[in-house]
Amino acid sequence: MNNRKEQERTELHRAIWTIANDLRGSVDGWDFKQYVLGMLFYRYISENITAYINAGEWEAGNADFEFAKMSDSDTEEARAELIDTKGFFIPPSELFENMRRRAPNDENLNETLERIFNNIESSAQGTVSEDNFKGLFDDIDVNSNKLGGTVAKRNEKLVKLMNGVGDMKLGDYKDNTIDAFGDAYEYLMGMYASNAGKSGGEYYTPQEVSELLTQIALVGKTEVNKVYDPACGSGSLLLKFAKILGRNNVRRGFFGQEINITTYNLCRINMFLHDIDYDKFDIGHGGGGV
């Protein structure tokens, strides 16, 4: 079993490296990481909400139900309930898998993706999950010259990016997919942090350090009330508690603050990628100070 897991992990890492290498071009790796992570996040939340809705319908006896194949209008009545449960809503036409299929023929792909990212964030507006979704896609600038000098070149890169992320073998949701998403995130962070000079430490705490600190804090404990990190970075230390104890054994959730806006966004994305629901974490943007 462990051998299979390691083989899958190796294959996943190879796929990520290929995407990053193929698409980087003139874009600095540390910057380009934002695009890979952002698209990975878009794929994750699309698949997450689809799996959740499908499972509910299948359990109710609707064996042929497929959320991704429904019309947007037929799903609107479920919007409020889904936002209450998942914290966000994506209509079928804006799901990653459907968008990826249309992407090569969309001459305005950059504008389409920008609209979809805005729609995902605004679906949470005015609800209790608003703060956890606000600005999550800010670092994925689909109109940046870093992607290409013309709209056509940018869109060509975006299609490659969607295909690369879409082809990643992240497993079946029944087989604990979250580990694969989380591992993909951590591999990207580590891959670029190791080449990022001094800035690397600002974004990424080596796993060994997080592991040691967590083990020290957890001596004699099998569960805790909550976890707080006053300078949480990308959230690796917070998530070590979830990994070692199990998410449900951090009873009231995960709390932190981070002064760097990019890292703050990455931390919130990281929570979702590790299947921490919006009502189980609260990450603030700001510094400490006494």
- The domain 205-290 having CATH identifier 3.40.50.150: the answer here is yes
Across the chain, the runs of DSSP E, i.e. the strands, are 227-229, 254-258, 281-285
Quick one: 108 exposed, middle or buried, by C-beta within 10 A (0-12, 13-18, 19+)? exposed
Q: What's the rounded Cα separation, in Å, for the pair 11 and 266?
A: 24
End-to-end CA distance of the chain: 49
Q: What's the rounded Cα separation, in Å, for the pair 78 and 225?
A: 33
- Of these ranges, 14-18, 35-39, 193-197, 219-223, the one predicted with the greatest mean pLDDT is 219-223
Q: Categorize the per-residue pLDDT at 179 as very low, low, confident or very high, splitting at 50, 70 and 90.
A: low
Q: What percent of the chain has pLDDT over 70?
A: 84
- Give the full edge-to-edge strand order of the sheet including 254-258: 227-229, 254-258, 281-285
The pLDDT tens digits for 3-37 are 776 777 787 788 888 887 777 665 555 567 778 88
What one-character DSSP code corresponds to residue 198? T
Q: pTM for this structure?
A: 0.83
- Please tell me which residue, 6 or 142, carries the higher pLDDT value: 142
Cβ atoms within 10 Å of 176's Cβ, excluding its own: 11
The pLDDT tens digits for 57-105 are 999 999 999 999 999 999 999 999 999 999 999 999 999 999 999 999 9
Per the listing, tokens 């380009």 go with 32
Buried b (16+ CB within 10 A) or exposed e, 119-142: ebbebbeebebbebbbebbebbbb
Q: What is the pLDDT of residue 233?
A: 81
**Does residue 149 surpass a pLDDT of 90?**
no
Q: What is the pLDDT of residue 181?
A: 64
**Does residue 192 surpass a pLDDT of 70?**
no
Backbone angles phi, psi at 186, to 5 degrees: -65, -35
- Tell me the H-state helices in 65-206: 72-75, 79-86, 96-102, 109-123, 130-133, 151-167, 177-193, 199-203
Q: Categorize the per-residue pLDDT at 197 as very low, low, confident or very high, splitting at 50, 70 and 90.
A: very low
Q: What's the rounded Cα separation, in Å, for the pair 36 and 162?
A: 9
Per the listing, tokens 């600005």 go with 135
Q: Across the strands, what pairs with 227? A: 254
**Does residue 198 surpass a pLDDT of 50?**
no
As given in the structure block, the two tokens for residue 70 are 């429904």
One fold for both 2-198 and 205-290? no
Domain definitions of the chain by residue range: 2-198, 205-290
Residue 238 half-sphere exposure, CB side, CA atoms within 13 Å? 29
Region of poorest pLDDT, from 131-140, 185-194, 223-232: 185-194
The pLDDT tens digits for 250-287 are 999 999 999 988 778 888 888 887 888 889 999 999 86
- Residue 285 near residue 259 (C-beta atoms within 8 A): yes
Q: What's the rounded Cα separation, in Å, for the pair 41 and 266?
A: 10
- For the segment(s) 2-198, the CATH number from 1.10.357.10, 3.30.2420.10, 1.20.1260.30, 3.50.50.60 is 1.20.1260.30
